[in-house]
Each structure stands twice: as structure tokens, then as C-alpha cells.
Amino acid sequence: MALPSQSARPIRIRAGVGSKRRRRKRGGGFIVGLILVGAAGGATWWLWPDSEAPVDGMPIETSDGPSAVTPTVELDLAVAERPEPIIADAVSSSLADGASADVALTVPAPAETPAAETADSAAAAAATTTQPLPPNALETAATLIRANKPVDARTVLSAALRDDTLAPADAEHLRATLATINEGLVFSREIANGDPYVGLYTIKSGDTLSRIVDEQDLPINWRFLQRVNGISSPGRIGVGQRLKTITTPFHAIVHKQDHRLDLWLGEGDDAVYVRSFSVGLGEFDSTPQGLFRVRKGGKLVNPSWRNPRTGEYFEADNPANPIGEFWIGLQGIDAHNLQEQGFGVHGTIEPDSIGGNHSMGCVRLGDADIDLLYGVLASGKSTVLVK
């Protein structure tokens, strides 16, 4: 089930390196002016049944460590193309080049609420009626975008999105608008004025993308650093080249009823919405709820897997491996989910199962989506709230 706030709508992001035989690659690019035009618009991982589950039921081969996937190439000091971050005035220049300078953010009219016939029915209606999208939020965001302040517009719209009483259509309108804004602010080399979640790093001798992530303690995987900066190969970096970095952890919220995962950037009330993904969940409502943290050492690339129900073993490069290309292990941190040791987020070889309840409990995503999530959810730092 597609969501307007997902990447296939206006957002198209280049797949990271390391793609193997089970993962599709996508082209990418961004036009920040789309902020104003697009704004209106069993065969899976398992949930351990109890603490006695066999250890070999988890994916058992990781290639995310320094000895396997981490790029060890030498610096290419003669690189012909070294894309630089686009700083500060990227938004204003992109708007000046097209008709998108005419803000197209729409302000929906408040939905009519049927009158209640009795006092009791009126009270019930008041308790359940959703609230219209605040016109001032959209108007304020439109004004900020005209003033080349997309960071402030994102803050305003994210605050409005936190209102749980919004009508579903209005909430989706906000998500779609924010996803378009983040096409430039998050998923490109653009560095806008006042963005508190990004930084700028200058490459020095001996650097690799993975070393930069480790030494700067960045809350992302090196693949996302490569993706954001439009680097075609991890070895195509050179001394003096400047890279856009993400300095604050991403977090996720899984909405079980809607089969949707929302990605947020930042902490607490200061966090901003980034974009959404459709997900598949556990059969018989087996996906556990509560707050989880990405397990330290629990992120695997191209894992092997043994089905805990049948004992069938799948090699890492087996196209029939149900786990897909990436595994993100989670550990419960609420009192009621501390025992959920085998729960995680992963890919799938059954894309048609996305949007339904067919897994053994875990959260599954399509190839391109799990690729992106693997790059942004940090071990020991990022959290996943399932509700």
C-alpha cells in the first residue's frame, strides 16, 4: 500500500553501495522547488515465542563490521568530480528558477461536524471528532518557505503533525508536505541555514567514510553518508572534500493499525518528521508494542538465517532467504517488552506482503526502504516505538 509521503512519490533517492543480488537500485536527485508544487498533493524474520528459543534462529552472519563491508579503499586524490554540499542559498536559487515560487500549499476547509441530537450523543461526538488542520500552520509554513526558511517551515509543520486529533487526510497532507521539504534538507547535499541536525566535515588524509562516521560519532551508517553526498563509490573521496553529515539520531514510530512507519529526526518535542514507509507486520497481531532501541551490534548485512519453526537454513547469498538484504535487531526497553530478544526490522522477498500481517512478528519493508532505514537507524542510539 503506497503512501503519498513515501519516496516513490516525489522523493527518489539513489540506492547506497553494497547492493547485492536481492536488492533493486534506484536513481535519485532532488529539486527543492517541489516543496511548493508537491506539497498539495512466515517467510520473514521471527519473534521468539519464549526465552528458550534457539540462538541459531537469528540471522547469524554480519558483514557490517570493519573487516567486511567497511570500505578500506585508499583516498583517490585525483578524483575529477568531488560534489560539494550546497550551502545556505540552495533553496532560494532553486525557487528563483521556476514557477514553483508561487506557493501551492493549500489550506483545507474545516470538516463539518454533524449536530448531535442529544446531550449524550454530543458528548460522544466531541470525544471522537477529529480536528481540522490548523490553517495558521500551513500559512506560516508557506510564508517561511517564501522567505527561504525551509528549516523553520519543517519545524512548524512537524509540531502540527503531533496533534493526534487531526483527521487522517489532514495528517497525510502534512506528511506529504514535510517529505517533500526533506527531499532537500535531509536526502541531498543541501545544507540550509539554521539546520540543527546537520554538520560539515572536511576530509583529511587517511579518511574513509566508515572512519569518519566512527571518529565523529555520527548516528548514521557510512552508506547514508555516501548517499546524502552523492558519492558514486566509497573510494571516490579526496582530501579537502567537504561532506554533509547528520549529527542527531533518527527515530521511528510504527503505527500498527495503518501499517506505516514514520521516520523522525531529533529528540523529544524538538524532533521533526522526515518521511513514511509502508510495512508488513506479524500475523495474529504478533508484533509486540512499546519502545525498543536498536541493539548494539544487532545490525546485519546480507545475513544467513535459520527458520526457528522448521529448522531450514538459508545461506547469506541465497535468493530464497526470507530476511532480505538487511536486518536491524531491536531490544525492548519498556518493562513489558524486555524479553523481546529476537524482534527486529528487516527486508523481505515477498513485496506483496507489505501492508499486511504475514510475518512471524517482526517489521518488514521493501528493498529500497530497508536499505534507507539501515543507513539511518543507529545502533544503541535510535529507538523504534510500536503502537
pLDDT of residue 77: 31
Residue 116 scores a pLDDT above 90: no
Average pLDDT, the chain: 76
d(CA 88, CA 67): 38
Burial, 176: exposed, middle or buried (Cβ in 10 Å; 0-12, 13-18, 19+)? buried
Residue 317 lies in a domain: yes
Residue 265 or residue 99, greater confidence:
265
Residue 319 scores a pLDDT above 60: yes
pLDDT of residue 91: 38
d(CA 296, CA 219): 12
Residue 85 scores a pLDDT above 60: yes
d(CA 191, CA 183): 12
Residue 110 lies in a domain: no
Considering only CA atoms, which of 18, 5, 10 is closest in space to residue 231? 18
pLDDT of residue 47: 30
Residue 91 DSSP class: H
- What's the domain count of the chain? 1
Work out the percent of the chain whose per-residue pLDDT is above 70.
66
β partners of residue 276: 262
Summarised one tens digit per residue, pLDDT across range 239-283 is: 999 999 999 999 999 999 999 999 999 999 999 999 999 999 999
| In the block, residue with C-alpha cell 501499517 | 259
Helix (H, G, I), strand (E, B) or coil at 255: strand
What is the b/e burial string over 11-45, where b = at least 16 CB atoms within 10 angstroms of the residue's CB?
A: bebbbbbbbeebbeebebebbbbbbbbbbeeebbb
pLDDT of residue 59: 65
Pairing of strands 357-359, 281-282: parallel
Residue 263 lies in a domain: yes
Residue 237 lies in a domain: no
Residue 214 lies in a domain: no
From residue 294, give the alpha-carbon distance in Å to each of 94, 124, 333, 341, 370. 37, 40, 10, 11, 14
Take residue 228 and report the three cell numbers written for it: 546524502
The residue type of 92 is: S
Residue 17 or residue 111, greater confidence:
111
Pairing of strands 326-332, 281-282: unpaired
Summarised one tens digit per residue, pLDDT across range 327-343 is: 999 999 999 999 887 89
pLDDT of residue 87: 58
| H/E run at residue 169 | helix 168-185
d(CA 348, CA 22): 9
Summarised one tens digit per residue, pLDDT across range 336-387 is: 999 887 899 999 999 999 999 999 889 999 999 999 999 999 999 999 999 9
Decide if 26 contacts 372 (C-beta within 8 A). Answer: no
Take residue 282 and report the three cell numbers written for it: 506479524
For 287-302, what is the mean pLDDT? 96
β partners of residue 280: 364
β partners of residue 272: 265
Residue 59 lies in a domain: yes
Take residue 161 and report the three cell numbers written for it: 503533525
Residue 26 DSSP class: -
Residue 138 DSSP class: H
- CATH number, domain containing residue 259: 2.40.440.10
Residue 260 lies in a domain: yes
Residue 154 lies in a domain: no
pLDDT of residue 345: 97
Q: Considering the entire predicted model, what is its pTM?
A: 0.74
pLDDT of residue 58: 55
Summarised one tens digit per residue, pLDDT across range 132-180 is: 776 789 999 999 999 999 999 999 999 999 998 999 999 999 999 999 9
Residue 114 scores a pLDDT above 90: no
pLDDT of residue 169: 93
Residues 6+ positions from 42 with CB-CB distance below 8 Å: 283, 309, 322, 358, 359, 360
Residue 191 scores a pLDDT above 90: yes
d(CA 38, CA 10): 7
Strands (E), the chain: 86-88, 190-192, 198-202, 242-246, 250-255, 260-265, 272-278, 281-282, 290-301, 305-306, 313-314, 326-332, 344-346, 357-359, 363-364, 383-386
d(CA 252, CA 273): 10
- What range defines the domain where residue 299 resides? 42-69+249-386
Residue 106 or residue 51, greater confidence:
106
